[in-house]
Amino acid sequence: MFKSKALDVLRAFETKDFRLFNDFINSPYYNKNEELILFYEKLKKFAPQFQNKKLERTIFYKLCFPKKKYNEKHLGYLLSDLMYLLDEYLMVRLSEENKMNDYISLMNHYITLGLEKNYNSVLKSAEKLQKNYDYEDSQYYFYQYKIASTSNRYFELQNKRKFDQHIQVASDNFDLYFIAQKLKYACEIINRKSILSAQYELKLIDELVIYLKANPHDDIPAISIYYEILFMLLYPKNKRHFFKLNLLLHKHSEKFPPKESKDMYSFALNHCIKQINMGNTEYNRELFELYKVMISKEIIYHNGVLSPWLYKNVASVALRLKEFDWTKNFIETQCPKVDKNYRDSAYAYNLAYLHFSQGEYKEAMWRLHEVEFNDVFFHLDTKTMLLKIYFELKDIEPLLSLIDAFKVYLKRNKHISTYMKTSYRNLIKFVQKSLRLPDGDKAKWQALYEEIQNVKHVASTTWLLEKIKEKT
């Protein structure tokens, strides 16, 4: 089977795409190459996987052109022309899914041609489409700006000396779009810096914050939500921003596309997780309630698929709250929705954690043997659970061996942020300290307990403190 960008696109086609592209490639407006039509007709017989021995370059060429000698250059030209048409088809199809851009372009074209009636007709269509837009995200204000900006261009060409509101509407909506989008980017940059070892610059944020403090935009969810997210990220100790964000999401999350709504909730989720890792265990309940809301609103899924990481995280927080029945039901009912490439391993990991949380350590260890993950976060979580199991079982030799391997992994992996490395290294450090303390010395165990409480970043803080507390 030969490799080709065109084949990659065809494999990603839905059923209707094959039908529509067939019409497209046979349209003389887009394609006059009859040979290319023949080439595609032969190729589409291997849809949708396009996995067949007959797709070897020389064999497939002979299939298409039985009377011709194999010509590598000719095959390359056909694949290149097919890729060009596929790009054209996708651009046309995507254009049909976003009519507003077409309306804006058509309005500007009719202005240039001086066709006033045509311009006004398209303007009405654009305004109707905008009125029926389901959301109040930054894109809404962008198209408000584009419509008003185009209308202002039309007005300027009339050379009329009278007041016209379109320039003000364009300016106001552009400001709203810019502020909302700038806040959104700032939040994402701060979030990425906390997860990855990457360098980003935040520009104009101080000036923007000063402006928003003097001019609150509480009536614009696309601004007010990201404003609270930004301050929650910058000042994580101030609980007010998290709870204000929670209220805003409860009230306005349906005003955003599912993907963006999910991303907004993810900021709140990540805040809870960081607070929990810092020892603020009351956030376990907040985190659990956020997950339940996301499940009920069905924004936890992406195209109907549940990520294995969310599947794991939801089960983990529920188990920390000892919601065993709820968790068992969640694991079983949500498993079919998990990405099939990770489903078996994610299911095994969650069952392992369920067994671990109920004190069934041998069963948990047995389940962990079924987990196969290349993802760094699953690797960290699997090592952490094994560490806990060995600790609970007082199996010291494998525990020490695991700790050594864990240290090496944290040192060598460059994809783990400094924050996360610190959290896991602190966990390892305190587990090692606990191994050196005599069981009967309550004063030393209490001192260790207080030391852990005073350290900001420790992975699995709740579990660790519980184990130390048992000795005091």
For 227-244, the pLDDT digits (tens) are 999 999 999 999 999 999
73 and 126 share one domain: no
Long-range contacts of 119-122 (CB under 8 A, 24+ apart): 119/154
Tens digits of residue pLDDT in 334-347: 999 999 888 998 99
3 state SS of 98: coil
The number of domains in the chain is 3
pLDDT 10s digits, 70-81:
999 999 999 999
Residues 392 and 456 reside in one and the same domain:
yes
pLDDT surpassing 70 at residue 1 = no
pLDDT confidence of residue 197 = 63
Per-residue pLDDT, 274 = 86
pLDDT in tens, 405-461: 999 999 988 888 888 899 999 999 999 999 999 888 899 999 999 999 899 889 988
Whether the per-residue pLDDT at 377 is higher than 70: the answer is yes
What is the span of the domain harbouring residue 81?
5-97
The reply to whether 30 falls in a domain is yes
> What's the pLDDT at 125?
96
Same domain, 383 and 451: yes
- pLDDT, residue 62, reads 92
Cβ–Cβ < 8 Å for 424, 380: yes
Averaged over 355-368, what is the pLDDT? 94
Residue 191 inside a domain? The answer is no
Domain end position, chosen among 66, 97, 128: 97
Residue 85 in any domain: the answer is: yes
Examine residue 312 and state whether it is found in any structural domain, yes or no: no
Arithmetic mean of pLDDT over the chain:
92
